[in-house]
């Protein structure tokens, strides 16, 4: 039983520019604390007071060894490891086994087919050296969608699996709508927003090709996010090649109030991804009343079911078709779609609901 015991959360970084898991893991610790489940963060790259790091109010240590030297073993109920492949995470699972601490893995999409094909040979080596064994000895696995659980099975992982989406910090009070318009232009310029890492798997090259086919009048495409390994330069070169420079703009990563402002000033959200285990950016956009275009590379069929967006194949033609439909939809109808999406996210993805379900899974599977 976990009563009175803490769960250790291990992640390699809480830098916000490292992607969704950094924010998800830290918000999860806080949400669990509000649900009555204490957590301890173990992370080699965590700075509590810097604006580019996700905040967390729990105790934190740089290594498992430092934690075990300071925390009584009998007060530790289990370990939750966020991510795979990193040697640091392997050492955490190894230390857990040596200390008889039950653990689980949240791969956060890092076992999906696209992710496995990226730097494939390094991952194949890691899989057979340690990763397969670490996962197989996990008390259970956490998937954010049925498709991710199915991928676990395809990889021969027969562990118990809990399917639970990521949560979001639901904004109860949205900022005022301050959408921009061109100076001196009586017709507002509407904004399609991409807000995520600028990374090859996010499909921005496909989006540029789709935008060039549609060239929606009265719309601009705003790309906001941290640059991953110089990929932004490549995307900008494609925008230039396709003659889209006047309708596309790029902005560095934004966080907290600046991020809220960017979301509040948009009319449509686009994530043309090849692969996501969840896609936290989609949930956040919906919470800000934005209709969404994303691909079947992300588990968001609910966009269609709840009539708040488009869910299409991750190729240029379907993205272009969805883009054409979305940008020819009236502002009133887009607004109604956004309200439906916000209501859906509030009911199913807000942290109080998600943290309670995960707390129950801990209690069920951690001995």
**CATH, residue 97:** 3.40.50.2000
Please, which residues have CB within 8 angstroms of residue 86's CB and are 6 or more apart in sequence? 12
Number of domains in the chain: 2
Q: Are strands 268-271 and 103-106 parallel, antiparallel or unpaired?
A: unpaired
**pLDDT number for residue 229:** 84
Are residues 140 and 49 part of one domain?
yes
- In a domain, residue 173? The reply is no
**pLDDT number for residue 180:** 44
CB 190 within 8 A of CB 331: yes
CA–CA distance, 101 with 98 (Å, rounded to integer): 8
- In a domain, residue 79? The reply is yes
**pLDDT number for residue 181:** 42
Are residues 329 and 286 part of one domain?
yes
CA–CA distance, 21 with 26 (Å, rounded to integer): 8
Are residues 163 and 102 part of one domain?
yes
Are residues 21 and 141 part of one domain?
yes
CA–CA distance, 82 with 79 (Å, rounded to integer): 10
- In a domain, residue 10? The reply is yes
Domain with 149 in it: 6-167+350-365
CA–CA distance, 263 with 224 (Å, rounded to integer): 10
Degrees, nearest 5: CA angle 189-192-193:
130
**pLDDT number for residue 187:** 61
Quick one: CA torsion of 111, 270, 203, 215, rounded to 10 degrees?
170
**pLDDT number for residue 176:** 57
- In a domain, residue 23? The reply is yes
Please, which residues have CB within 8 angstroms of residue 319's CB and are 6 or more apart in sequence? 203, 206, 207, 210, 272, 293, 295, 312
Are residues 209 and 157 part of one domain?
no
Are residues 359 and 319 part of one domain?
no
Are residues 290 and 225 part of one domain?
yes
Give the CA count within 13 Å in the CB-facing half-sphere of 279.
32
Are residues 152 and 47 part of one domain?
yes
- Of 176, 239, 167, 168, the closest CA to residue 209 belongs to 239
Are residues 163 and 59 part of one domain?
yes
Rounded to the nearest 5 percent, the helix, strand and coil shares of the chain are 45, 15, 40
- Strand (E) or helix (H) holding 78: strand 76-82
Per-residue pLDDT of the chain (367 residues; tens, 9 = 90+): 577 899 999 999 888 777 778 888 888 999 999 889 999 999 998 766 555 566 666 678 999 999 999 999 999 999 999 999 999 999 999 999 999 999 999 999 899 998 899 889 999 999 999 999 999 999 999 999 999 999 999 999 999 999 999 999 899 888 655 444 444 445 689 999 999 999 999 999 999 999 999 999 999 999 999 998 899 999 999 999 999 999 999 999 998 889 999 999 999 999 999 988 888 999 999 999 999 999 999 999 999 999 999 999 999 999 999 999 999 999 999 999 999 999 999 999 999 999 999 999 999 999 7
- In a domain, residue 264? The reply is yes
CA–CA distance, 299 with 277 (Å, rounded to integer): 7
Are residues 336 and 249 part of one domain?
yes
Q: In what order do the strands lie in the sheet with 140-143?
A: 60-61, 39-42, 6-10, 76-82, 103-106, 140-143, 161-163
Please, which residues have CB within 8 angstroms of residue 221's CB and are 6 or more apart in sequence? 191, 192, 194, 207, 211, 244, 247, 248, 249, 270
Are residues 163 and 196 part of one domain?
no
- In a domain, residue 122? The reply is yes
- Strand (E) or helix (H) holding 135: helix 132-136
- In a domain, residue 182? The reply is no
Tell me 65's DSSP state. H
Are residues 202 and 161 part of one domain?
no
Q: In what order do the strands lie in the sheet with 292-295?
A: 248-251, 219-224, 190-195, 268-271, 292-295, 309-312
**pLDDT number for residue 183:** 44
- In a domain, residue 259? The reply is yes
**pLDDT number for residue 14:** 86
- Of 354, 18, 13, 332, the closest CA to residue 162 belongs to 354
């Amino acid at each position: 039983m976990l009563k009175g015991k803490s769960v250790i959360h291990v992640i390699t970084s809480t830098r916000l520019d490292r992607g969704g898991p950094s924010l998800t893991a830290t918000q999860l610790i806080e949400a669990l604390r509000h649900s009555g489940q204490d957590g301890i963060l173990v992370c080699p790259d965590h700075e509590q007071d810097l604006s580019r790091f996700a905040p967390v109010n729990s105790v934190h240590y740089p290594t498992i060894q430092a934690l075990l030297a300071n925390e009584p073993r009998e007060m530790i109920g289990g370990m939750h490891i966020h991510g795979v492949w990193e040697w640091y995470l392997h050492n955490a699972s190894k230390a857990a086994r040596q200390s008889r601490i039950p653990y689980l893995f949240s791969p956060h999409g890092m076992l999906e087919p696209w992710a496995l094909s990226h730097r494939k040979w390094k991952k194949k080596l890691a899989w057979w050296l340690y990763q397969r064994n670490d996962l197989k000895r996990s008390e259970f696995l956490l998937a954010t969608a049925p498709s991710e659980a199915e991928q676990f099975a395809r990889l021969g992982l027969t562990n118990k699996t809990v399917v639970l989406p990521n949560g979001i910090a639901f904004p109860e009070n949205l900022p005022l709508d301050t959408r921009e318009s061109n100076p001196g232009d009586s017709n507002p310029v509407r904004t399609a927003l991409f807000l995520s890492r600028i990374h090859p798997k996010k499909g921005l090259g496909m989006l540029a090709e789709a935008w060039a086919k549609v060239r929606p009048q009265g719309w601009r495409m705003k790309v906001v996010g941290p640059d991953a390994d110089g990929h932004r330069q490549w995307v900008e070169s494609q925008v230039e090649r396709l003659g889209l420079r006047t309708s596309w703009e790029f902005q560095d990563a934004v966080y907290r109030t600046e991020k809220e402002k960017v979301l509040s000033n948009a009319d449509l959200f686009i994530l043309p991804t090849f692969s996501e285990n969840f896609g936290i950016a989609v949930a956040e956009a919906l919470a800000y009343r934005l209709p969404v275009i994303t691909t079947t590379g992300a588990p968001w069929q609910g966009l269609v079911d709840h009539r708040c967006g488009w869910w299409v194949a991750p190729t240029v033609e379907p993205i272009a078709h969805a883009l054409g439909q979305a940008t020819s939809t009236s502002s009133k109808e887009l607004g109604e779609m956004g309200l439906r999406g916000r209501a859906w996210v509030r009911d199913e993805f807000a942290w109080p609901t998600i943290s309670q379900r995960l707390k129950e899974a801990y209690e069920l599977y951690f001995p």
